A and B are shown apart, each in its own frame.
Chain A
Amino acid sequence: MSTASDSAALDTGRRQWTGLIVQPIVILLALGAVALWISNADLTDTERVTLSVSYLWGLTLEHLKLTVVAAVIVLVLAIPLGILLTRGPFRRYTTPVMAIANIGQSAPAIGLVVLFAFWLGFGFEATVVALILYAFLPVLGNTIVGLRGVDGRLIEAGRGMGMSAAAVLFKIELPLALPVMLAGIRTALVLLVGTATLGAFIDGGGLGLLITTGVNLALDKVLITGSLLVALLALTIDWIARLFEQVARPRGL
């Protein structure tokens, strides 16, 4: 019985590792193909400037900065809020808070971005605020779901052994909820990379600039490069997050 489940677990484990190895290879191949294509393409002057390695690298860094800043703020806010909402007296606020978070998620991202631009002014901050609202739900939701999914008997066992409520949270609940929470964080990161593209509309920078430029000036090569780079960046972030999930997942689960 246990050997069967062991080998099954081993099997899924192996499959996950295979995926983790294949993904970066695919990303690198695609990146190589894009590079090859650009270097061999017949480019106008504008295109040559826009598609230069240093410019693309700068945009990518900008894009990452948007993503990372928003992600860090989301983590710092959403995880403690999720923990709070699973503690005794606050449990009843879970539904209203989730409803609000849901609004952030279901409102069209482009609408959010523009709205915040008018409120906070065009630029980096407005983009980050919009991104935070957009990525809040998966992290908050998965934190709550993960913590609620912890077997109540284990919590009771912990308390029964004399662990304080805080010790139970940090030594039992959070470790056991971690896989679900990490999955939520990964979802949020991928959402953020994609949505950060819209920052270009309100002067937030990032790889979205390539897309807007490409559309506005009818530069197809710039447009295509921009789209591909965003997609590859999202895949890369997803891969890093998966890798982290695999490593951070408590053994024995």
Chain B
Amino acid sequence: MSENTDKSSTGAAILIENVTKRYGGGKKPAVDQLTLEIPAGQIVMFVGPSGCGKTTTLKMINRLIEPTEGRLIINGEDVTDINGDKLRRKIGYVIQAGGLLPHLTVAANIGLVPKMLGWDKSRIAERVDELLDLVSLDADTYRDRYPKELSGGQQQRVGVARALAADPPVLLMDEPFGAVDPITRQRLQDELINIQAELHKTIVCVTHDFDEAVKLGDWIAVFDEGARIVQYDTPEQILANPANEFVENFIGSGAGLKQLNFARVKDVDMRPGVIGRPEQKPAEVLELVTLAERRNAVILDQRDRPLAWLSREQLKRMTELPKTRDENLPLVSTGSTLNDALDSMLQASTGSAIVVGNRDQFQGLISVETVMNAIRELRENASRQQAPVGNNTGEIPRVNGHGDDAAEDEAGAGSHAAVRTGRHAAPGDQAPSAGGSAAEPASASAEPETTSGTPWAGTRPEQGSSAADGTPSGGAAENPDRPEGRP
């Protein structure tokens, strides 16, 4: 994983500084003096009611919509006035239903940006295959297909691959999974989590689905009309301490249940499965299953992707193991939440499911009992989960204050200082920003924490330093400030 990250560029921090967007004359601005910091290499979810300006804000990051006032700083560079087309080639953009060009093949769609950047043909072809593999589509099968020959989920995957084509540090997603059915959506979300675990892009994603925000986001920004930030914090904190009634309403019912979304499949104990290969004889595999006192065997292809899941009875009946993939396999990904895993198992009525990791590689098996145990543990440890020190899920380790001061010093003068001062001012001063945030102190993340001990640790150091080069303060970049909200 880390060797992959070495050659690809990881995320860049984004600073939206005092940005206003006004349409027409004297009307109320769509985005009203918004200041927002998006930490490098993390997923920030924009949620809010429709028409609140979250999409406008997103589109101002790649300047599809030009801000009326304010600055836009990406990776320390002021990009407010540079050529918009050139800027957008360096920012991945994913829209609902993929936005694939119907008259171009999958390969041509993915190759669009590299072609604009002047890559040679063989390099583009290589990259296309690499990306199709990354989004779990077989390159030989799908490369030359046209979008209409793909399912909605596959189109969306190609859309993500296209956005990643030129390896941009930043990825913008505008309700990416809004147009697919719930089961496909869940798989796509899982895949995005896996991809992010591998690539560490800075991802900004607009959604109207709070559950999606909780599932995907390292940070969630809750918007109200005029792109006013009501709360900007980790999903855990927002669920545990919603800033006000507006946020509470937005979370909807079952906040407690939603917290189950924080435990992921990779955090629980998976059982190893009995593995068979298509070229083996069914009898051989059956013997292994019997020997291991198990009921089923998983058949994997050469690249360890599950093809089928066969019971003893099925094995007895078969003369040859299947070589093609059973499309109805109950698959969950290591990045899936336990909630999703449970859903999949219930839907498949199997009582257990196959866990796959990056590129659909087999990881193990998970059963309902495993999930139930984990949920019980989770409940017992609920208070610990919300403790500020951090967690075991790969989210940002949080709070403890001490690193924050150092970051503060580094931040020095300039806009960051202004932002940070705003944040550190008494929360009461910021009444217009919707009552500030109950979770204020808890949100201060600490730089030292992020560079060690997390699943991202392998790649974080160099990324951290690049963020430090880019912005006045790496610490600031790691720390989405509570935005000032309105003046």
Question: B102 contacts A160, CB within 8 Å?
Answer: no
Other-chain contact of A162, B101, B113, B147 (Cβ < 8 Å) = B113
Question: A2 contacts B101, CB within 8 Å?
Answer: no
CB distance from A230 to the nearest CB of B (A): 37
A194 CB-CB contact with B under 8 Å? no
A218 CB-CB contact with B under 8 Å? no
Question: B116 contacts A162, CB within 8 Å?
Answer: yes
Question: B85 contacts A164, CB within 8 Å?
Answer: yes
B101 neighbours in A (Cβ, 8 Å): 154, 157-158, 171-172, 176
Question: A160 contacts B95, CB within 8 Å?
Answer: yes
B105 neighbours in A (Cβ, 8 Å): 252
Q: Which of B76-132 contact A (CB under 8 A)?
A: 85-91, 93, 95-97, 99-105, 112-113, 116
Question: A163 contacts B102, CB within 8 Å?
Answer: no
A161 CA to B88 CA, complexed, in Å: 6
**With A252-B103, A252-B104 as contacts: A161 and B96 at CB distance below 8 Å:** no
A26 CA to B393 CA, complexed, in Å: 73
A-B contacts, CB under 8 A, total: 73
A253 CB-CB contact with B under 8 Å? yes
B95 neighbours in A (Cβ, 8 Å): 153, 156-157, 160
CB distance from A145 to the nearest CB of B (A): 18
A218 CA to B129 CA, complexed, in Å: 74
Q: Which of A151-184 contact B (CB under 8 A)?
A: 153-154, 156-164, 167, 171-172, 175-176
Q: How would residues 173 to 216 of chain B score, 1 for a CB under 8 Å from any chain A CB and 0 otherwise? A: 00000000000000000000000000000000000000000000
Question: B116 contacts A176, CB within 8 Å?
Answer: no
Question: B88 contacts A253, CB within 8 Å?
Answer: no
B62 CB-CB contact with A under 8 Å? yes
B116 neighbours in A (Cβ, 8 Å): 161-163, 167
A176 neighbours in B (Cβ, 8 Å): 101-103
A157 CA to B64 CA, complexed, in Å: 10
B102 neighbours in A (Cβ, 8 Å): 154, 176, 252-253
CB distance from B305 to the nearest CB of A (A): 23
B148 CB-CB contact with A under 8 Å? yes
Other-chain contact of B93, A2, A5, A157, A251 (Cβ < 8 Å) = A157
A6 CB-CB contact with B under 8 Å? yes
A164 CA to B88 CA, complexed, in Å: 10
A167 CA to B172 CA, complexed, in Å: 21
B151 CB-CB contact with A under 8 Å? yes
A58 CB-CB contact with B under 8 Å? no
Which chain A residue has the least Cβ–Cβ distance from B104? A252
A250 CA to B104 CA, complexed, in Å: 8
B462 CB-CB contact with A under 8 Å? no
B142 CB-CB contact with A under 8 Å? no
Question: A251 contacts B149, CB within 8 Å?
Answer: no
B90 neighbours in A (Cβ, 8 Å): 162
Other-chain contact of B151, A2, A153, A157, A161 (Cβ < 8 Å) = A2
B146 CB-CB contact with A under 8 Å? yes
Question: B103 contacts A251, CB within 8 Å?
Answer: yes
Which chain B residue has the least Cβ–Cβ distance from A160? B93
A158 CA to B85 CA, complexed, in Å: 10
A163 CA to B84 CA, complexed, in Å: 10
A160 neighbours in B (Cβ, 8 Å): 62, 64, 88, 93, 95, 99, 172
Which 5 residue pairs are nearest across A and B when measured between Cβ atoms?
A: A252-B146, A162-B89, A157-B99, A160-B93, A250-B103
25 pairs, CB–CB < 8 Å, chain A vs chain B: A1-B151, A2-B148, A2-B151, A5-B148, A6-B149, A153-B95, A157-B99, A159-B85, A160-B88, A160-B172, A161-B88, A161-B93, A161-B112, A161-B113, A161-B116, A162-B85, A162-B87, A162-B113, A162-B116, A171-B101, A176-B102, A176-B103, A252-B105, A253-B102, A253-B103
A156-B99, A162-B89, A252-B146 given; name 16 further pairs at CB < 8 Å. A2-B150, A156-B64, A157-B100, A157-B101, A158-B101, A159-B88, A160-B62, A160-B88, A160-B95, A163-B116, A164-B85, A167-B116, A171-B101, A250-B103, A252-B147, A252-B148
Q: Which residues of A pack against B, CB within 8 Å?
A: 1-2, 5-6, 153-154, 156-164, 167, 171-172, 175-176, 250-253
Q: Which residues of B pack against A, CB within 8 Å?
A: 62, 64, 85-91, 93, 95-97, 99-105, 112-113, 116, 146-151, 162, 172
